[in-house]
Structure 1
Amino acid sequence: MAGNSFGQAYKITTFGESHGGAVGVIVDGVTPGVEITLEDIQKELDRRKTGQSYITTPRKEPDKVHFMSGVFEGKTTGTPLMMILYNKDAQPSAYNDIKELYRPGHADYTYSRKYGIRDWRGSGRASGRETAGRVAAGALARKILRDKGVNILAYTRRTAGIEISSFDPEVIEKNPLRAPDMKAAEEMNRIISKIKDEEDSMGGIVECRISGVDPGLGEPVFDKLDAELAKAMLSIGAVKGIEFGKGFAAADMRGSEHNDQMSADGFITNNAGGIIGGISTGEEIIFRIVVKPTSSINKVQRTVSKEGKEQEIRTEGRHDACICPRIIPVVEAMASIVLLDHIKRLGAMHI
C-alpha cells in the first residue's frame, strides 16, 4: 500500500490500524540537537485523544507516546525518529456482526475494490486513529517553528448551524468544541449533544490562522504553499474541502475588490489568505476546511454485503458525534509539517 508518507525534507511515515497493536510515526529529516521531551509530544496528543467530552468517542486510549529511536539524552540525533502509541482499548469484536457489510460513508467498499482485502476492525488503516502519528510528528515540527516565531492556531468556526460571532483565543481550550466564542460553543454543544442522542452526527468548518511566516515560502507551479497545505488537509480522512482567504466568496467579487493592493507599509488587505502565486506574502495565512459528519452512526442505513446483497446496517460502537474538536490538533500538526518541510527545502537544514 503506497501513500503512507508525506513531505520531502521533513518526511513522515505513519503506521498502524485502529484496532491493531499500535499506531505511530517515523520522521526523517529531523534536525539534530533539538531539545525534545515526551511531554512536548504528549501535550499535543492529549488534545487529540478520545473521551474528552460527551460528544466525542468514549473509547479510552491513554495515547501515551514512546520514543523508539532518534532521541538521546533529551535531544534529537538527526537519525529517523520513531514514536509509537500502543492501543489499549481496542474492541474489534464490536464489528463482528457487520464485517461482511460496507458501511455508508466509510472506505470499506473502495479499499476492498482496490486491494481485495481490508481490515474490518473499525476502519483499519482508514481510521481517524491513524492521525495520532501525524500529531506526534507535528508536535516536534511545531516546537521548532514556535522557536522561530511561527504560531499556528485552529478552531471550530461553524457547526450544527451555529457560527462564531466573536473571537477570543483564550477560550478555545476551555470548551468542548474548541471554538473561540464561548456563547456559540455552548449552543453548538447543546445541539450536537441532542444529535448524538438521536444516534446521528454533525460536520462543521474549522479555520486555521498562521502568523510569523516570512514572505517567500513555497515553490512555484506544482509545489505551491497553498497546494501543499491543501494536500495535507485533504489527506485527513474527514476533510472534504478547503478554501484560502476569501475562498469561494471570490466568485462574487470583482478584481478590484479581491486584489490585495499594497502601500509603502505593505499589503492593505489579505483576501488571498497570505499566499499569492503559491508563495507566502508575510501576511497571516488563513484557510478553512470542511469536516464531514462522522460516518459511523447508529441509525439504520441501506448498504450491500461483499456478495452484493442489499441489507440494512447500524454502525454500533464508540464514535464522535462531531469530529471538529479532535481534528483541530491534527490540522495544526499537518500545517506545522508542511511549513517546516518548506523551510528545510530552502536549504535551512539547521532548522
Structure 2
Amino acid sequence: MSNSFGTAFRITTFGESHGAGLGVVVDGCPAGHPFPFARIAAQMARRRPGQGKLTSPRQEADLVRVLSGLEPDTQRTLGTPITMLVGNDDARSHHYDDLAELYRPSHADYTYDAKYGLRAVAGGGRASARETVGRVAAGALAEDLLAALHGVEIVAWVAEVADVIAPLPDLTTLTRDQVDASPVRCPDHAAAEAMIAAIDDARSSGDTVGGVIRCVARQVPPGWGAPVFDKLTAALAQAMMSLPASRGFEVGDGFASTRLRGSQHNDPFTIDPITGQIVTTTNHSGGIQGGISNGQPLRLAVAFKPVATIFQPQSTVTRQGQPIVFQPRGRHDPCVLPRAVPMVEAMAALVLCDHMLRARLARVGDLQP
C-alpha cells in the first residue's frame, strides 16, 4: 500500500503527471465538519505550476472537484470516504518521446523499470512532484480540522537556497502572508532577493539548485504521538522523506544538536505564570520528546536536492545498455523549494491530524480542547 498514508486519518493518492487527472481519497475524516473549499483552493494555488519565472511554466488551474463524502445541502463531511479529483489540462507528453528508451540521471526511470518492468514515460508518472496534488488537497482538509479543534497553526518557509541562508524569523508570529510576500517564499527580504538571484543564475545556465524548508506548528497539545515505532518524530520523518526530491529531515535543533553538550541542549521545565501549564524554557527538542508532543511549538526542517532535470548535455545509457548523450527539453522547475512549501505544510498537517485522532484512543476524552 505504498500509495496510502496514515492510520486514523488515511489518504490514498492516485493518478499520473500526464494522465487524465490526479486525486486523493481521504478515509477517517470525522462527520459534520464544514468542508474547507477556500482553504483547499488557497493551498492548491500555492502549489500549482506557472507562478512565475521561479517555477515550471506549465499552466494548470488545479481546481478540486469533490466526488464523494459530503452532505449535498450542508457541504459537511459525512464521515465516509472523501474523493477529490484534479484534472490535467496542460500536459505535453510529446516532450518525453525521446526519453522512452533511455534513463535520465537521478530520475526514477531506471528504478521503476527495475521494479515493474515498465514505467510511465511522460512526466515521470507518479514519480513526478505533480503527484503531490492529492497530498496538498487532503493536507488542507487535515489542517482545517486541526485549526477548528485545537487552534493549530502550521507555517513553512524557504530557509535556504543553494548557499543563501536566511536568518530565523520570529516563530511565534510568522504568517503565510509574510512568507508569500516574496515569490521564493522566504520571509526575509534580503535573503529572498539573494535566493531569487541564485535560482535565476542556475536557470540561465540550464541548471538547478536545492535548499531547505523549515516549518513550525503552533498550539500542538502535549500527548500526540506514541512510543517506539509510532513516534511523532518518526511519522514526520516518513512524511517529509516521502516528498519528491527530499534528502534530509530534522526536528528541533537537528544535526546542530550534535555540536552541543547535554547541558546546552536540555529543555528545562517550568510553570507558565499566566496559564499555569507546564512548559519548557527553551525548545531545542522542537516540541517533541520521547516521540510525543510536549506542547511547545513543533519545529522541523526538510532538505531538498536540486531538481534532476537540467537543460545541459548529460551522459547516460539506453534501456538496452548503450551509452548515449542527451539534453532534456520541456517545462521544469529550476528550484523545487517555492512550490514545496505547501507540500511540507500538507504533510505536517496529515501527520498531526492522524495523531490527533489516534490520541483519543489512548485516553478517556474526546477531540474537544
For Structure 1 versus Structure 2, the TM-score category normalised by the shorter chain is over 0.9
Residue 153 of structure 1: aligned partner: 155
Q: Secondary structure at the match of 1:75?
A: coil
Residue 195 of structure 1: aligned partner: 202
CA RMSD of aligned residues (A): 1.3
Residue 247 of structure 1: aligned partner: 254
1:54 maps to 2:53: yes
Q: Secondary structure at the match of 2:54?
A: coil
Task: Give CA deviations for 1:240-269 in whole Å, capped at 9, x if unaligned.
Answer: 110111111122111111111223443121
Residue 10 of structure 1: aligned partner: 9
Query: Any conservation in 2 of the 1:166–1:180 contact (CA below 8 Å)?
Result: no
Task: Give CA deviations for 1:136-178 in whole Å, capped at 9, x if unaligned.
Answer: 0011111111122100010000103111126264431111110
Residue 34 of structure 1: aligned partner: 33
Residue 97 of structure 2: aligned partner: 96
Alpha-carbon distance between aligned partners in 2 of 1:224 and 1:186, rounded to the nearest angstrom: 38
Alpha-carbon distance between aligned partners in 2 of 1:342 and 1:307, rounded to the nearest angstrom: 47
1:79 maps to 2:80: yes
Q: Once the 2 structures are TM-superposed, how far is the Cα of residue 187 of structure 1 from its aligned partner?
A: 1.4
Q: Secondary structure at the match of 1:71?
A: coil
Stretches of 4+ aligned residues off by more than 6 angstroms: none
Q: Secondary structure at the match of 2:122?
A: coil
Query: Any conservation in 2 of the 1:10–1:344 contact (CA below 8 Å)?
Result: yes
Alpha-carbon distance between aligned partners in 2 of 1:37 and 1:277, rounded to the nearest angstrom: 33
Query: Any conservation in 2 of the 1:217–1:343 contact (CA below 8 Å)?
Result: yes
Query: Any conservation in 1 of the 2:267–2:285 contact (CA below 8 Å)?
Result: yes
Alpha-carbon distance between aligned partners in 1 of 2:13 and 2:353, rounded to the nearest angstrom: 17
Alpha-carbon distance between aligned partners in 1 of 2:288 and 2:31, rounded to the nearest angstrom: 30
Q: Secondary structure at the match of 1:213?
A: coil
**Identical aligned residues as a percent:** 45
Query: Any conservation in 1 of the 2:36–2:144 contact (CA below 8 Å)?
Result: no
Letter in 1 for 2:195: M
Q: Secondary structure at the match of 2:325?
A: strand
Which of 260, 280, 301 pairs up with 2:293? 280
Task: Give CA deviations for 1:60-103 in whole Å, capped at 9, x if unaligned.
Answer: 01101100000122111111000000100011110001211111
Alpha-carbon distance between aligned partners in 2 of 1:217 and 1:39, rounded to the nearest angstrom: 28
Alpha-carbon distance between aligned partners in 2 of 1:122 and 1:141, rounded to the nearest angstrom: 28
Alpha-carbon distance between aligned partners in 2 of 1:151 and 1:68, rounded to the nearest angstrom: 28
1:236 maps to 2:235: no
Alpha-carbon distance between aligned partners in 2 of 1:254 and 1:52, rounded to the nearest angstrom: 44
Task: Give CA deviations for 1:170-223 in whole Å, capped at 9, x if unaligned.
Answer: 431111110010121111112211210111000000000011011111000000
Alpha-carbon distance between aligned partners in 2 of 1:38 and 1:209, rounded to the nearest angstrom: 24
Letter in 1 for 2:233: D
* Number of residue-to-residue matches in the alignment: 350
Which of 171, 174, 181 pairs up with 1:174? 181
Residue 64 of structure 1: aligned partner: 63
Alpha-carbon distance between aligned partners in 2 of 1:196 and 1:236, rounded to the nearest angstrom: 22
Structure 1 length normalisation: TM-score? 0.97
Any unmatched runs of 5+ in structure 2?
Answer: 273-278
Residue 326 of structure 1: aligned partner: 339
Q: Secondary structure at the match of 2:216?
A: strand
Structure 2 length normalisation: TM-score? 0.92
Residue 116 of structure 2: aligned partner: 115
Alpha-carbon distance between aligned partners in 1 of 2:162 and 2:116, rounded to the nearest angstrom: 36
Q: Secondary structure at the match of 2:296?
A: coil
Letter in 2 for 1:19: H
Q: Once the 2 structures are TM-superposed, how far is the Cα of residue 122 of structure 1 from its aligned partner?
A: 1.2
Residue 227 of structure 1: aligned partner: 234
